[in-house]
Amino acid sequence: MLNTVNGSSVGSGEGLDVTDPATLEHIDGVDRCGPAEVDAACQAAAAAGPKWARSEADRQKAMLACAEILAACEDELAGLLTREQGKPLAQAHQELRGNVRILQWYANLEHSHVVLRDLAEELVVATYRPVGVVGIITPWNFPVTILAMKLWAALRAGNTVVIKPAPTTPLATLRLAELVNQVLPPGVVNTVTGGAETGSLLTGHPVVGKISFTGSTASGRSVMQAAAPTLKRLTLELGGNDPALLLDDADLDAVLPTVLLGAFYNAGQVCQAIKRVYVPTAMRDEAVARLVALADTRFVVGHGLQPGVTMGPVNNGAQKQRVASLVADAEARGARVQRVGDMNHDLPGHFVRPVIVSRIDAAAPLVTEEQFGPALPVVAYDDVEEVVDSLNAGPYGLDASVWSADADRAVEIATRLQVGQAYVNSHAGPPEPDVPFGGVKASGFGRELGVRGLEEVSELRVLRVARTVTA
């Protein structure tokens, strides 16, 4: 599949193979873009910028036309997404519908200025101007959703963009770019494909004014280094190791089904997934038994295009190996590993049978590191204050949830957790267009979605108008 630059398809479709993570079969090929290709995309975006930024009404109209095209092509895009990423087809459809919902919200948003002072002698207005060219770098777990969180705010603010999708999941993104280029002016949305070296070229390009990146914390540090010489603006959504903290009055019947879904949706490959569960020691064995029973009935692991499958493979071999090694380490340390769900197939892909891990040391890597796969450690505790202190001492700060029959008690604890999103009796769901999202500490900085997300891809300019002239 080819890239789109300045409204035209370019490249050879060679250099990187895209494979089905369930069957390991070749799907398509994409270019490994180098300096010339990245420069062409960035220059096209820069040239298109002034005209695109000129009319807010024209941008809104064009974006609504994009929404119509993408909604009409949902089946095609969902099939591509399942084949390259691995998720069940129903979840791919949810991702595509969420993309259109975010797009429509930004297209209809009115937010161009804020009056700060309106006096007889002076008018002061905060206005929002585009940054210019925004480089968008997306990961492989939610290729379309995370693109939507970045792309539509950038376009609504008057920016033009160059998108670099993950090398294992570029196809739905490239096709989306082809589709929206049917109605957008040439150069507004451009794509480049490749690995980390292509991302570095984009991040370091002198005409790019901002980079919006989602990926690992280690990769985020590399992005910061590449952006430093040109002082690019950054939004970084990085790793997370999100805890679910069950208090001693939590109703297990009500809580555990939601906790399980929060841990294993998309085979656990969710930035906001529940990655560890803390349970009072007296409740641990019952909680683990119920989680195992629930998981056995809810997860059928297989090819995402097959009816009845509720969990696909993890996206790539490196991720499969990482999850397996963390589980093996926990087992070697004496933890109890219970494999759950149905994986009755002979496909050769990157499948990981979901596991519930109990009687595990809180210092084990499966607890302290982000596994990003269907392996859920259940950690027993005796003192909730010690748990809060240990969570806040950790490096990450994306999401956390607290579960209790007493909402006020849970709120008091949740507000003390050092995270970007704190939940009470729920955990992260699909992105909501009007609610900003982002992390703290090693989970990144900046916010996406909502009005705040629009402001992150804008430059604030203050206009002061003196209504009287004095000597």
State whether residue 238 is helix, strand or coil: coil
**Residue 237 designated active-site:** yes
Q: Residues 252, 280: contact at Cβ < 8 Å?
A: no
CA separation for the pair 4, 149 (Å, rounded) = 20
DSSP for 195-235, written as a single string: SHHHHHHHHH-TTEEEEEEES-HHHHHHHHHHHGGGT-EEE
Catalytic member of 271, 370, 448, 456: 271
- Identify the active-site residue in 95, 178, 237, 448: 237
Please tell me the distance from the alpha carbon of residue 46 to that of residue 55, in angstroms, as a whole number: 16
Characterize the bridge pairing of strands 355-358 and 336-339.
antiparallel
How long is the chain? 471
What Rg value do the Cα atoms of the chain yield, rounded? 23
To 10 degrees, the CA torsion angle through 262, 268, 272, 276? Answer: 70
Do the strands 355-358 and 375-381 form a parallel or antiparallel pair, or are they unpaired?
parallel
Say which DSSP state 267 is in: G
Helices (H), 55-170: 56-72, 74-85, 89-108, 143-156
Tell me phi and psi for residue 433, to 5 degrees.
Answer: -55, -35
**Distance of alpha carbon 361 from alpha carbon 281, whole angstroms:** 13
CA 259/CA 185 separation, integer angstroms:
45
Please give the Cα distance from 268 to 310 (Å, whole number).
Answer: 12
Q: How many CA atoms lie less than 13 Å away from 434 in the CB half-sphere?
A: 5
Sort strands 458-466 and 3-5 into parallel, antiparallel or unpaired. Answer: unpaired
Residues facing residue 311 across a β-bridge: 301
Catalytic residue set: 237, 271
